[in-house]
């Protein structure tokens, strides 16, 4: 059976859309190359709730959930239709897996969702809904969450997990583009190799096993979407894309878990 791919993106700083560079080019290309989804389930680091919560809104608003950036960002919008039917499917999938889930009737799309979607599907014509992560829960919880969502792939649903491979503000050079910060490179390469080798246990224990594990993520919420994608992706090794490092310390890696009929795992720039 052919399954719809799972996509993880590092969404970077909110101003990425103002100078999208290699990352923006990659997102646009993936939007053209991936099969067109029936609907999108976005799992963003920027919506956290104590337990899984899915948005049932018919028309999600564009949330400008950041401050201190150029005014042009606050004028942007992404007015895709909501996906209440998909939200109902998400509810059923999690309940069948024995996981708790709530519904939210008005939640819009935060920038972790709409920023990549604006380049992936610029016409905003694919229905989209969001599922909240649990910031206080760990990697294994989010991996199990992804496993519960995996059957959605059989129905043409794109699971878009949006977070960050590295997320330490102390590693960033806000004065502009900079050479990649070496600890960020070492951590992102460690993650990439473990994903390629199928070493799920090591990934779930990244804070102890990875180089700079706790420094790469002083708080874990930006890596949680990766574990959702890993759970939904199953045993198929993902394709890794490494477009650039923004502000020196943000590894903009993206991963695509293809259908199991695709035998070859490969690394692409």
Instruction: State residue 259's pLDDT score.
Output: 79
Nearest C-alpha neighbor of 242 from the set 59, 6, 9, 1: 9
- The DSSP code for 109 is B
Q: What is the pTM of this model?
A: 0.95
Q: What is the pLDDT along the chain (269 residues), one digit of tens a residue?
A: 589 999 999 999 999 999 989 999 999 999 999 999 999 999 999 999 999 999 999 999 999 999 999 999 999 999 999 999 999 999 999 999 999 999 999 999 999 999 999 999 999 999 999 999 999 999 999 999 999 999 999 999 999 999 999 999 999 998 866 689 999 999 999 999 999 999 999 999 999 999 999 999 999 999 999 999 999 999 889 999 999 999 999 999 999 999 774 434 345 66
Instruction: State residue 255's pLDDT score.
Output: 98
Angstrom distance (rounded) from CA 35 to CA 250? 28
In the three-class reduction of DSSP (H, G, I as helix; E, B as strand; rest coil), residue 230 is classed as: helix
142 close to 217: Cβ distance less than 8 angstroms: no
Domain at 6-268: CATH code: 3.40.830.10
Instruction: State residue 83's pLDDT score.
Output: 98
Sequence-distant (≥ 6) Cβ neighbours of residue 125 within 8 angstroms: 80, 81
Sequence-distant (≥ 6) Cβ neighbours of residue 255 within 8 angstroms: 7, 8, 195, 226, 229, 238, 239, 240, 241
Query: Where do the structural domains in the chain lie, given as residue ranges?
Result: 6-268
Instruction: State residue 175's pLDDT score.
Output: 82
Nearest C-alpha neighbor of 226 from the set 212, 240, 244, 243: 240
Instruction: State residue 2's pLDDT score.
Output: 83
> What element of type H or E holds 204?
helix 200-204
- Angle, helices 139-149 vs 84-96, to 10°: value is 110
Instruction: State residue 110's pLDDT score.
Output: 98
Instruction: State residue 177's pLDDT score.
Output: 62
């Amino acid at each position: 059976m052919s399954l719809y791919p799972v996509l993880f993106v590092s969404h970077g700083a909110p101003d990425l859309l103002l100078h999208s560079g290699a990352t923006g080019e990659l997102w646009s290309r993936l939007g053209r190359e991936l099969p067109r989804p029936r609907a999108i389930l976005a799992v963003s680091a920027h919506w956290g709730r104590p337990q899984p919560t899915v948005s049932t809104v018919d028309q999600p608003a564009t949330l400008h959930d950041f401050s201190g950036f150029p005014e042009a960002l606050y004028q942007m919008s992404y007015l895709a239709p909501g996906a209440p039917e998909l939200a109902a499917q998400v509810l059923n999938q999690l309940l069948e897996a024995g996981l708790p889930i709530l519904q939210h009737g008005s939640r819009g799309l935060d920038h972790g969702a709409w920023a990549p979607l604006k380049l992936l599907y610029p016409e905003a014509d694919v229905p989209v809904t969001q599922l909240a992560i649990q910031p206080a829960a760990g990697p294994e919880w989010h991996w199990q969450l992804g496993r519960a969502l995996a059957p959605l792939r059989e129905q043409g649903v794109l699971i878009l997990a949006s977070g960050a491979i590295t997320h330490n503000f102390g590693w960033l050079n806000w004065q502009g583009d900079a050479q990649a910060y070496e600890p960020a490179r070492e951590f992102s390469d460690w993650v990439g190799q473990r994903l390629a080798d199928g070493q799920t246990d090591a990934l779930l224990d990244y804070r102890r096993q990875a180089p700079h594990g706790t420094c790469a993520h002083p708080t874990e919420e930006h890596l949680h979407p990766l574990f959702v994608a890993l759970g939904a992706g199953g045993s198929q090794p993902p394709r890794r894309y490494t477009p650039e490092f923004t502000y020196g310390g943000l590894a903009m890696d993206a991963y695509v878990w293809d259908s199991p009929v695709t035998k070859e795992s490969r690394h692409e720039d």
